[in-house]
Amino acid sequence: MPSGKAAGTPVRVGLINTETGAAASPETTLVIEEAVRSINEEFGGVKGHPIELRKCLPTDSGQLVRCAQDFAADPSMAAVLQGTLEGDVQGFHAALAPKVPLLGGLPFSDADTRAPNAYYLNGGQYGVLGIVSYARDFVKAKKVSLIAAAGFAATELAINAVKLALQAVGINATVATFPYDSTDLTGAVTASRAQEADLIIPAVSTPQQCVGLSNAVRQLGVDTPILTFTGCLGPDVVKALGDYPRWQYIAFTISPDATAPDDLTAWQVRAFNEWFEPLAARGVTRNGGVQNFQLAITLTKLLSSTSGDVPTAATMAARTKAFTGPVWMGVPRLAYGAIPGLPAVGSLSSRVYVYLGNGSWGDTTGGKWLEPPALPQGGRR
């Protein structure tokens, strides 16, 4: 990437992100804006052209679709970046897809995974079956406890898919649920037979659930290792517990905190951490920082490698569809259209890191990426 300040005709890129409601992620907007500013002012932009970010921050389904319509109607729009979306996602994709390609970090719904002209750098919740490979190959587990909030079809579907996948590789799995808004998870921990398990996999996603789980296992004296999601790595959890829980966490990017396994990764981690320091002082989480910085870097890489001087939606779509990686601080390989049922997802690879306390992290897989296990035919990967 060249250095210096970009000048000339701007390359217009859309940003769609929800900043209010249950799916709110204002830090996504902040990180993308700061990344684009750095790319324009320090790294020469796109072939010397600055990226012009056009934001749309919808608060309901109608606005979500109108954002897509506005992006699609702009003949200078080269691509759209996706943050978090809430509402009529299918309508959004239908309005955008014919005209402008979309690049996202991870999909949030089935409509995302099947959207034409959409490209996601990792599988997110659809890549969680990598934890089955982790339980089998690294933990050598025989029994696993699965804990999830009740009443959510997507969560129940995902947890049942993990249960079936565990059973398919010879691991016994016990599922227990708790009310979504409950802060007392002792009943679910007990019902999951966590004390007898080799690994606990809780689908906890809110600070209240994370704190409730931490309190429950402490009160019950359960010392079984816990593998969960990075949603527990937020300031509200630290405020309640004094530090992050010393659990294992599934990730879809390289950790900026753990020791890197090779020189190239170590250089990327150093570069990110130096860039990110001012944002950390503003309360942005490193996990969210990596995901969104990675998205901006990949966008710039793709725009810079398109044919012609100024990238267009058509040249960007062709380049993105053919992109096989590697992704900055991310998966080593992408293959759009190769995953059955998930044509917009480029990879189902994942990593697992363990929090050791006091800001220290460990890499549980020694730099290896996890892939979902081969399952009997008929099971969705």
193-214 per-position pLDDT tens digit: 999 999 999 998 788 999 999 9
Cα–Cα distance, 299 to 124 (Å, whole number): 19
- In the chain, the amino acid numbered 234 is G
- Would you say residue 169 lies in a domain? yes
Q: Flag residues of the chain having pLDDT under 50.
A: 377-381
- Would you say residue 61 lies in a domain? yes
Domain co-membership, 63 together with 25: yes
Residue recorded with tokens 């570069």: 271
Domain co-membership, 113 together with 140: no
Cα–Cα distance, 188 to 175 (Å, whole number): 9
Q: What is residue 279's three-state secondary structure?
A: helix
Q: What is the pLDDT of residue 156?
A: 77
Domain co-membership, 226 together with 356: yes
pLDDT in tens, 12-40: 999 999 998 767 788 999 999 999 999 99
Range of 235's domain?
A: 127-251+351-363
Q: What is the pLDDT of residue 283?
A: 81
Q: What is the pLDDT of residue 25?
A: 87
Domain co-membership, 222 together with 355: yes
Is 61 exposed, middle or buried, given 0-12, 13-18 or 19+ CB atoms closer than 10 A?
A: middle
Domain co-membership, 247 together with 194: yes
Domain co-membership, 163 together with 199: yes
Q: What is the CATH number of the domain that holds 276?
A: 3.40.50.2300
- In the chain, the amino acid numbered 140 is K
375, HSE (Cβ side, Cα atoms, 13 Å):
18
Cα–Cα distance, 119 to 154 (Å, whole number): 21
Cα–Cα distance, 253 to 250 (Å, whole number): 9
Q: What is the pLDDT of residue 381?
A: 40
Domain co-membership, 84 together with 60: yes
Four-residue CA torsion sign, 351, 145, 126, 16: negative
- Would you say residue 368 lies in a domain? no
Is 311 exposed, middle or buried, given 0-12, 13-18 or 19+ CB atoms closer than 10 A?
A: buried
Q: What is residue 372's three-state secondary structure?
A: coil
Q: Give me the helix-helix angle, 286-304 and 26-42, nearest 10°.
A: 50
Q: What is the pLDDT of residue 380?
A: 43
- Would you say residue 24 lies in a domain? yes
- Would you say residue 339 lies in a domain? no
Domain co-membership, 180 together with 239: yes
Domain co-membership, 47 together with 142: no
Domain co-membership, 224 together with 355: yes
Is 308 exposed, middle or buried, given 0-12, 13-18 or 19+ CB atoms closer than 10 A?
A: exposed
Q: What is the pLDDT of residue 192?
A: 97
Cα–Cα distance, 50 to 34 (Å, whole number): 13
Is 277 exposed, middle or buried, given 0-12, 13-18 or 19+ CB atoms closer than 10 A?
A: exposed
Q: What is the pLDDT of residue 379?
A: 42
Residue recorded with tokens 């059973």: 167
Structural domains of the chain, count:
2
